[in-house]
Amino acid sequence: MAEQQFNFRLKIYYLFYFSNILKLNYILEINLLKYFTFKRAFNAVQILTSFTLSRILRKPIVWGMPLSYSVEPTNHCNLKCPECPSGLGSLTRPLGLLNPDDFKKLIDEIKETGFYVQLFFQGEPYINKKLPEMIKYAQQNNVYISISTNGHFITEKNVDYILDNAPDKLIFSMDGLDEESYQNYRVGGTFAQADAGLRALVKRKKELRKKVPFVEFQFIVMKQNEHQLDEVLIYGNEVGVDKVVFKTMQISSYENAIKFLPSNKKYRRYIVENGSFSIRKELKNHCFALWRTSVITWDGKVVPCCFDKDAEFELVIVNGRSFKDVWNSKEYNDFRSRVLGDRKSVSMCTNCTEGLKVNIFEIEQ
């Protein structure tokens, strides 16, 4: 009996670390007990401990493996959003589709220590026709899958197939509740099509009494839609999504700051003045992202984080190497050292939100 109580307390202790490290305290989204193993929890403690030591000693110490991953199914996109290099065609790296065999190999390697995979980076994930195969394989290995979509590839005709192969979480990014506000940013798409896809999915999910996907409606607050926030909450409740999230917008130029950032400054992550813009926080010489997660492009390039959209700071190409080898490589640790020494010297870090709250607020429906 005493041993059982000890094991239960130990499990709760590890779950505390697990949830706080990953910032995944959404009980409705993720049942942490389902994904809990002592090996995964111990790995999480190793990562937190080694990151803390690295901050103190100012040199990279890495124990354990990433807790989460972002894997890119494709960098093709059907839309042309003004702040997205994929849709604009400004990516200098090749366009292509992730090979399911490469994804399965990665899952086989990381499933004992990692449990969360964002199956998106640049591009629209549902362009890759092999996406359902990859979702299923990860879930069969007790790995949680999250996907972000613009919704244009979900229709009444294919909604059953989508639900039969659903990720654990599906984020609908829409950013407007009428054609004018929607198409101002989601260039090449229509609100009508995205709305129809979302409604078809939620309606059919309820009819079939399916638990997944957890449906999140994501709304990036901009100048042309900041007046719609109350309407968004009503819309989310009417459609029946599980959660509504309002996010601040990322911009890459002063011109786009003037064009898109909301008038209400509390909805911005930037200070805009004197013909320039800067992130609204102090840039410290550390970054937990380099310990807790890793980002992999469709063709196996490993980049430091999701802000490196064009793989400008490419660290390693997997190309048959074990991911453990990649994670502990000289290239990875050299980049960690650079961030620990002078993070401002890394251009993409000056526009980074690591440690900054980017969700304005979230509402569970």
What pLDDT, on a 0 to 100 scale, did the predictor assign at position 4? Answer: 55
User: 69: phi > 0 → left, psi -120 to 50 → alpha, else beta; which?
Assistant: beta
At 310, the pLDDT band (50, 70, 90 cuts) reads: very high
CA distance 263 to 311: 32
CA distance 280 to 268: 8
User: How large is the average pLDDT for residues 107-121?
Assistant: 97
Q: For residues 77 and 88, which has the higher predicted lDDT (pLDDT)? A: 77
**Which has the closest alpha carbon to 148: 169, 165, 166?**
169
Backbone φ, ψ for residue 64 (5° rounding): 90, -175
pLDDT digits over 229-257, tens only? Answer: 999 999 999 999 999 999 999 988 899 99
Q: Which two structure tokens, joined as six digits, stand for 5?
A: 């109580």
pLDDT exceeds 50 at position 199: yes
pLDDT digits over 164-195, tens only? Answer: 999 999 999 999 999 999 999 999 999 999 99
Helices 191-208 and 229-239 pack at an angle, to 10 degrees, of 40
pLDDT exceeds 50 at position 21: no
CA distance 104 to 275: 47
CA distance 326 to 321: 7
pLDDT exceeds 50 at position 290: yes
At 94, the pLDDT band (50, 70, 90 cuts) reads: very high
User: How large is the average pLDDT for residues 75-99?
Assistant: 93
At 363, the pLDDT band (50, 70, 90 cuts) reads: low
pLDDT exceeds 50 at position 361: yes
Q: Tell me the torsion sign for CA atoms 148, 153, 156, 161.
A: negative
User: How large is the average pLDDT for residues 30-44?
Assistant: 92
What pLDDT, on a 0 to 100 scale, did the predictor assign at position 357? Answer: 65
pLDDT digits over 117-169, tens only? Answer: 999 999 999 999 999 999 999 999 999 999 999 999 999 999 999 999 999 99
Tallying the residues shown for the chain, one arrives at 365
What pLDDT, on a 0 to 100 scale, did the predictor assign at position 283? Answer: 83
In angstroms, the Cα distances linking 123 to 50, 70, 87, 178 are 33, 13, 7, 23
What pLDDT, on a 0 to 100 scale, did the predictor assign at position 274? Answer: 87
What pLDDT, on a 0 to 100 scale, did the predictor assign at position 295? Answer: 97
H helix runs in the chain, sequence order: 2-22, 32-35, 38-57, 85-88, 100-110, 131-140, 159-164, 179-185, 191-208, 229-239, 254-260, 289-292, 323-327, 330-342
pLDDT exceeds 70 at position 12: no
pLDDT exceeds 60 at position 9: no
Radius of gyration of the chain (CA): 20
Which residues, in sequence order, are CB contacts of 55 under 8 Å at separation 6+? 286, 340
The answer to whether 168 and 68 are in contact (CB under 8 A) is no
What is the DSSP track for 43-79? HHHHHHHHHHHHHHHTS----S--SEEEE-SBS--S-
Which residues, in sequence order, are CB contacts of 128 under 8 Å at separation 6+? 73, 74, 97, 98, 134
What pLDDT, on a 0 to 100 scale, did the predictor assign at position 63? Answer: 97
What pLDDT, on a 0 to 100 scale, did the predictor assign at position 7? Answer: 52
Share of the chain above pLDDT 90, in %: 77
What pLDDT, on a 0 to 100 scale, did the predictor assign at position 360? Answer: 66
Cis peptide before 213 (omega within 30 of 0): yes
Question: For 23-27, 122-126, 309-313, which range has the lowest pLDDT when averaged over its residues?
Answer: 23-27
Q: For residues 183 and 4, which has the higher predicted lDDT (pLDDT)? A: 183
User: How large is the average pLDDT for residues 23-45?
Assistant: 80
pLDDT exceeds 50 at position 298: yes
* Half-sphere exposure in the Cβ direction for 247 (13 Å, CA): 19
- SS3 of residue 285 by DSSP: coil
pLDDT exceeds 80 at position 309: yes
User: How large is the average pLDDT for residues 290-299?
Assistant: 97
At 32, the pLDDT band (50, 70, 90 cuts) reads: confident
